[in-house]
Chains A and B, each alone.
Chain A
Amino acid sequence: MASSAHTRPLSDVEIRVKALESLLLEKGLIDQAAVDALIDTYEHKVGPRNGARVVARAWVDPAYKQRLLTDGTTAIAELGYSGIQGEDMVVVENTPEVHNVLVCTLCSCYPWPTLGLPPVWYKSAPYRSRVVSDPRGVLREFGTELAPETEVRVWDSTSEVRFMVLPERPAGTEGMSEEALAALVTRDAMIGVTKLKA
């Protein structure tokens, strides 16, 4: 981060960020260690592997699945995942009859403790605008073809309530361990734009 590392002039946005951060540090309003710790947590420690463990547990433990669908926040916290942007979690279950998909039409609300930070496409105008008006079309672009009789439910997240999809367990995974099942679970399936395969 030393300025000597730069071989090109800083962009306007880079200058703005450096100016703001250095002023806030100088005034003692923020602490460098706290900034670095937050970056490290969400870049290296928290991500969709957390959500995958929740999903795998729900697949192998019917009582846990029941708790997860009844009180998502508490059931997710059982596995140690909680905190900001996940204070009130609602988990919605995909079945052959119902397919759920998540969006935040107003901005970028997303369940950080279980999925980490959202990908750019989730925060982008094209996804946010279109997934509510043409969800089947959007799903098709992600390679997900739904049967015409399958009901599609689109959940619009808010800063108060964050949703997560419990994907369908793929066929042919009956004998697999919880750990092996977790390895099958992807971020996109927990957003609901894709289905899982064994």
Chain B
Amino acid sequence: MNGVHDLGGMDGMGPIVVEENEPVFHAEWERRVFGMFLPIFACGYFNIDELRHAIEKMGAPAYLNTSYYEHWLHAYETLLVEKGAITAQELAARRAEIAQGAA
């Protein structure tokens, strides 16, 4: 699939920013998203190609304006709902509960 993810040779993406002594993860939520990677695959709902395809379907503005582990999170949510492992309603309800509890 041709799209914004296919970045090789594209101009105008700005400078390469290198972080000295970069940590493996930059936030606890990144740790959790990474940690779910294999356990979610082990559920058997989707494979690595479907994961990347879900990321490629994000749309150009979202793809370029969100961080790497947000791409993974988007793909998990999208595919697990599409495959029926969870429902969008359950996810929305749980988010609302957590937002209220943490507010």
CB distance from B11 to the nearest CB of A (A): 7
Minimum C-beta distance from A104 to chain B (A): 9
Cβ proximity bits A56-83 to B, threshold 8 Å, 1 near / 0 not? 0000000000000000000000000000
Residues of A within 8 A of B17 (CB): 120-121, 124, 126
- List the B side residues contacting A1 at CB < 8 Å: 28
Q: Is the CB of A132 within 8 A of B73?
A: no
Interface residue A129 (Cβ < 8 Å from any Cβ of B): yes
Q: CB distance A9 to B64 under 8 Å?
A: no
- The docked-state distance in angstroms from the alpha carbon of A109 to that of B5 is 13
> Is the beta-carbon distance between A106 and B6 smaller than 8 angstroms?
yes
User: Is B34 in the interface zone, CB < 8 Å from A?
Assistant: yes
Q: Which residues of chain B are near A17, meaning CB under 8 Å? A: 29, 32-33, 73
Count the A-B residue pairs with Cβ separation under 8 angstroms: how many? 160
Once the chains bind, are A16 and B16 in contact (CB under 8 Å)? no
Is A136 among interface residues, defined by CB-CB distance under 8 A? Answer: no
Q: In the complex, how many angstroms separate the beta carbon of A10 from the nearest chain B beta carbon?
A: 4
**In contact, B24 and A117 (Cβ under 8 angstroms):** yes
Chain A residues with Cβ below 8 Å from B39 are: 24, 29-31, 34-35, 38
Given A21-B36, A126-B15, A9–B73 Cβ distance below 8 Å? no
B residues with a Cβ closer than 8 A to A are: 5-11, 13-19, 22, 24-29, 31-40, 42-43, 48-49, 52, 55, 64, 68, 70, 73, 76-77, 80, 85-86, 90-91, 94-95, 97-99, 101-103
Can you spell out 12 A-B residue pairs with CB atoms less than 8 angstroms apart?
A13-B29, A14-B27, A18-B32, A19-B94, A19-B95, A20-B76, A21-B32, A23-B91, A24-B40, A34-B42, A125-B14, A132-B9
Kindly list the 9 A-B residue pairs having the minimum CB-CB distance in the complex, ordered from nearest: A105-B8, A35-B35, A30-B39, A19-B94, A39-B35, A129-B10, A129-B7, A125-B13, A128-B7
